[in-house]
């Protein structure tokens, strides 16, 4: 597996993590879903995990305030629902309100979850299991970062904290391409895009964050940004 950039972890926009699983797609059944499909896998009685071969999906969590929050964005070449498939023999816990949302038309290959407990399969494809474990660690790190971004404090503090972490992930740069849109940031931080735009305008007036879009993030006052991130 190639190294994952710090920016991908901080934004939870993960690159393909499991391309090597393409060699066993003959063991899976393809399923196609249109854009904007809401796919709930963790409450199914059957035990399945999936390989996203085409398209892009978001892992979304509904919140108590009626809004939703993007936990991570996954690209083609990534396994889906592995954690639940592995854990279902050990616990009945289900994270309610958690689902996959297709950002594009997608193709998923459905695997029988029992495959992950099959000693013969594990012995025959140890490199796939090693890859699966490594990818799970990346997802956990991204989710920890997501929780940290949400953290304590109000919406402005969360935005400032997010900008600080993006800067740190890019070597402390104050002018760089974040590679994430305002809409995606709003979903990641659990707020409306209108709220994000309003607070970015306020930060611009304060000279703290001068510009923030998919192609450019410009930080005007690092010291003030750090102070606001801790409020």
Tell me the per-residue pLDDT of 212-224, one tens digit each, with 9 for 90 and over.
998 999 999 999 9
Tokens 């305030």, residue located: 65
Residues of the chain with pLDDT under 50: none
Residue 149 is predicted with a pLDDT of 65
The CATH architecture of the domain made up of 6-150 is: Sandwich (2.60)
Q: Are 13 and 184 within 8 A, CB to CB?
A: yes
Q: Where in the chain is the domain with CATH 2.60.120.10?
A: 6-150
**Of the CATH numbers 3.40.190.10, 3.40.50.300, 1.10.10.10, 3.40.109.10, which one belongs to the domain with range 155-229?**
1.10.10.10
* Burial of 72 from C-beta contacts in 10 A (0-12 / 13-18 / 19+): buried
User: How far, in Å, CA of 71 to CA of 48, rounded?
Assistant: 21
Q: Give the DSSP letter of residue 115.
A: G
């Amino acid at each position: 597996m190639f190294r994952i950039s710090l920016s991908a972890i901080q934004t939870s926009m993960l690159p393909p993590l499991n391309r090597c699983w393409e060699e066993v797609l003959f063991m899976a059944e393809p399923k196609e879903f249109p854009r904007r499909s809401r796919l709930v896998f963790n409450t199914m009685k059957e035990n399945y995990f999936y390989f996203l071969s085409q398209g892009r999906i978001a892992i979304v969590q509904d919140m108590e305030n009626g809004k939703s929050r993007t936990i991570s964005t996954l690209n083609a070449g990534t396994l889906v629902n592995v954690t639940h498939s592995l854990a279902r023999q050990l616990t009945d816990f289900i994270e309610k309100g958690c689902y996959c949302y297709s950002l594009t038309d997608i193709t998923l290959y459905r695997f029988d979850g029992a495959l992950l407990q099959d000693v013969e399969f594990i012995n025959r494809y140890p490199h796939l299991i090693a890859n699966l474990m490594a990818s799970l660690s990346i997802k956990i790190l991204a989710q920890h970062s997501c929780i940290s971004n949400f953290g304590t404090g109000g919406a402005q503090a969360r935005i400032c904290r997010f900008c600080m972490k993006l800067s740190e992930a890019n070597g402390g740069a104050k002018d760089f391409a974040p590679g994430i849109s305002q809409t995606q940031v709003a979903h990641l931080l659990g707020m409306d895009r209108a709220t994000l735009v309003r607070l970015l305008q306020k930060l611009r007036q304060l000279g703290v964050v001068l510009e923030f879009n998919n192609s450019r993030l410009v930080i005007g006052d690092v010291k003030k940004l750090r102070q606001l991130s801790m409020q």
